Chain A
Amino acid sequence: METRTIVINPVTRIEGHGKVTIFLDEQGQVNDAHFQVTDFRGFEKLAEGRPFYEMPAITARSCGICPVSHLMASAKACDQIMAVRIPETAVKLRKLMNLAQIVQSHALSFFHLSSPDLLLGMDSDPAQRNIFGLMQKYPDLARDGIRLRKYGQSIIEWLGGKRVHPTWVVPGGVSAPLTPEVRGRIAAGWPESMTIAQRTLDWFKHNLSRYSEEARTFGNFPSLFMGLVGHNTGELEHYHGRLRFTDANGAVIADEVDPARYMDYIGEAVEPFSYLKSPYYKPLGYPGGIYRVGPLARLNIIDKCGTPKADQEWAEFRSIDRRAVLSSFYYHYARLIEIVYGLERILEIVNDPNILDKQVRASAGVNSLEGIGISEAPRGTLFHHYKVDENGLIRDVNMIIATGNNNLALNRSVLQVAKHTIRSDRLTEGMLNRVEAVVRAYDPCLSCSTHAFGDMPLHLMLVGPDGVLLDEVRRG
């Protein structure tokens, strides 16, 4: 066999093209910045004409990283089309898979994408400031990240089968009950995962003071926050519940909003420079109604987490600010608390006395021509809205994706970092690193948000007041 070096054209694994354009004014100061997503796949169109019950499996394929989140929102929209109340145990099992998804996705984001920035330094060589640099310098931490992610992934596989896109979550519930064997495996892997999660959170808190500049400048601005909270409990909730909006002071401005009424509260603007929609809070208009979703938002809007360890951590987290915690740098912190919360809830569910019940699926035909399913994906609130004909064939699909919800905030954050770091008509590594790092704080999933393919090198452009391109850097 001949050995040679080849170029592997990346046609699979991929999340869209991210482009950042920074505009300077006459004085050479940063005037504006756009975070752009330039690929488009038109997933909504692809689904038209398909039977509604295929939607969980189809939409899950819009992403190889968060298929479970799409499964949840999609199955919930389908439940509504069938107009059924799914069995209690099925709800718990869906929650179990959703929490496993939160744990694995947050572990990937923190350990493998963001911790190199935090541990190796924002000004370190990008050739080193990545997961491989981390492996060389902090192999224990890298292995911790892999173990924690593997635990979440394994739960998903054990429940849903080996495939990336499990078909276990179905309209009406789940397709098979939990077996005692899988329950045992989940319980057996739990202690090590909780030890890793707690150790990492303690380490992060201990080092928090080292990142005061990042906390001050990484998307630190007033905005609204949105997410699901437990119905009548105000607890942290990722699967079901009601929408709540809070303002930058931490005051609740809309509460107990039935997810079916999301269109009364959320408008969707489209900017010509990006395929990513810009949702906003309707009562405040566009772009004043800027809001954030995801871990930071969820911890800002709730009254409590509802589990002992996470509640303790949450109280400490909220003491950062008397009002809402405003800096997007704290997305990392919030992610680590949500991992602890997710693990606590996972144990609670597998210890539930009724969790092995065999009744896990309700069946029905088309009883409603419209269904809206909402869940909290790792990156934030995810909306699936379907309309069907009387035969159950999809007529119309609207999806608002977590990263889309954060689009305005991502733009604002990139602008803030650019204003803080860019002082000339040339781009430097340090500038690029910080722009990358602030984007990473949101853990955007561009394949979900635009349903796009293509590699995602970051393309950074600096544009003068006359529209002339002054400098550009491509990474990747």
Chain B
Amino acid sequence: MPHTLIIGYGNPLRGDDGVGPRAAELLAETPFPDGVQVLVCHQLTIELAPQIAEADRLILIDARATGEPGSIEQCVLTPAIPDRASLTHHIDARGLLAAAQMLYGHAPETMLFTVSGGSFEGGEALSPAVAAALPELLTQIREAVL
């Protein structure tokens, strides 16, 4: 089994933005084969780069601000350097892959799963459409991993 890292990220206090962490938590509750590791993050930060560089495969789970609420998309991500200086403390997904490549010599094959959110207002609950999409999301991720 190739070393696979799964990261669900987002803010669980911001409605559907919490779908990534929620999915990662649910995935972590079910057993995976050796070599699969699940992380929950509020946001992607630079110190994930060495850990990511050690993985053969990376699966990211995030919310999406556009699209029909509850719709799931998956796509392959490749490293890319953002074209601006940042005042913020986070790093975008492709930038993080670029950092892993530049500093640690390897960026894993990466797949991003996104779920379109219906509401990003304050609150811990997922909207009905996003909550209903969770089982399908988990199935798709498990299929990608196994």
Contact = CB atoms under 8 A, between A and B. Distances in A.
Contacts of A3: 75-76, 78
B30 interface: no
B122 A41 contact: yes
A266 interface: no
A142 to B, nearest CB: 6
Contacts of A440: 87
Interface string B47-60: 10110000000000
A61 B13 contact: yes
Nearest to A15: B88
Interface in A112-140: 112-113, 116, 126-127, 129-132, 135-136, 139
A131 to B, nearest CB: 7
Nearest to B12: A61
A3 B12 CA distance: 29
B85 A475 contact: yes
B91 A165 contact: no
A108 interface: yes
Interface residues of B, number: 53
Contacts, number: 147
Interface string B101-131: 0110000000110100100101000000000
B84 A127 contact: yes
Nearest to A142: B103
B136 interface: no
B26 interface: no
A9 B66 contact: yes
A194 interface: no
Nearest to B16: A11
Interface in A25-67: 41-42, 46, 58, 61, 64-65, 67
B9 A12 contact: yes
Contacts of A130: 82, 84-86
A123 B36 CA distance: 45
A127 B112 CA distance: 25
Interface in A129-161: 129-132, 135-136, 139, 142-143, 145-146, 149-150, 153
B64 interface: yes
A18 interface: yes
Interface residues of A, number: 58
B68 interface: no
A239 B82 CA distance: 37
Nearest to A451: B122
Contact of A12 (B40, B43, B98, B103): B43
B103 A139 contact: yes
A113 B86 contact: yes
A11 B120 contact: yes
A151 to B, nearest CB: 9
Contacts of B89: 15, 64-65, 108, 113, 445
A64 B40 contact: no
A64 B46 contact: no
A436 interface: yes
A188 interface: no
Nearest to A128: B85
A11 B92 CA distance: 11
B85 A146 contact: no
B85 A126 contact: yes
A188 to B, nearest CB: 17
A139 B10 contact: no
Contact of A458 (B14, B75, B87, B99): B87
5 contacts: A3-B75, A12-B14, A13-B42, A61-B11, A476-B86
Given A12-B14, A131-B99, A476-B84, 5 more contacts: A3-B76, A10-B92, A131-B91, A139-B102, A475-B84
Q: Which 8 A-B pairs have the closest CB atoms?
A: A64-B42, A13-B43, A13-B90, A9-B65, A130-B85, A164-B42, A12-B10, A132-B81
